[in-house]
Amino acid sequence: MHYGIDFSYLIFAIPALLLSLWASSAVKSRFAQFDRVRTKKGITGAEAARILLQANGITDVRIARISGNLTDNYNPTTKVLSLSDATYASSSIAAVGVAAHETGHAIQHNVGYTPIAIRGMLVPVANIGSRIGPLLAIAGVGLGYSAQSGNPIFQLLVNAGLLLFAGATLFYIVTLPVEFDASWRALKILKSSGVFVDQSEIDGAKSVLWAAAMTYVASALNAIASFIRILMIVNRRNRR
């Protein structure tokens, strides 16, 4: 550490920030670009999702329309594939690509894809850990935790905080293979099912989905950087 700056923290934090800014801009610009390009067959996002579900023998997933822009998601508990206004009735390459990606998650659940099962188990930990974990760890340090103090309450706060935050960080890391695999499945079945008829459509969808995937990479890097930051604060306290 020099002049109060943790350079090892910045190694993760700066790339995560820059990647997050780029990915957010890229998703919007690439979706807008390919949202103006219609699919050769005129198939909408909802129709594409229906075709892909049927092609994979999935009959118990309901396709629903929800408000918003790029709020698409798949809920494995209710088995509802929700497509946003920008996706559901649009026949653009971008809309069909996004719909296919969410269908990819439904296929993952149907085939028992291990990473998505692990991510599902980590959801409660991530929801609590990302908010409460850092607060507990910092509270323990702020109250006087150190290796020399031996105060079991402070030790418990720090350990609980680090454990919860580690679980939240793991969630973001496990999310990466889940999202990349869903996009890979989407691109593969879009062509094999006949929804897309030429390579230009595949390339357009790939461009949109790749930018979207980078937002998850940025989130994972940011979570790792934040965890390292908290860990370094605790370690510095231990050396006192």
Q: How many CA atoms are closer than 13 Å to the CA of 236, on its beta-carbon side?
A: 13
Q: 47 an active-site residue?
A: no
Instruction: Tell me the one-letter amino acid at 180.
Output: F
Which of 47, 102, 179, 201 is an active site residue?
102
Give percent helix, percent strand, percent coil of the chain, each to the nearest 5: 70, 5, 20
**DSSP secondary structure of 166-222:** HHHHHHHHHHHHHHHHHHHHHHHHHHHTTS--SHHHHHHHHHHHHHHHHHHHHHHHH
DSSP, collapsed to helix, strand or coil, labels residue 121 as: helix
- Which residues are known catalytic residues? 102
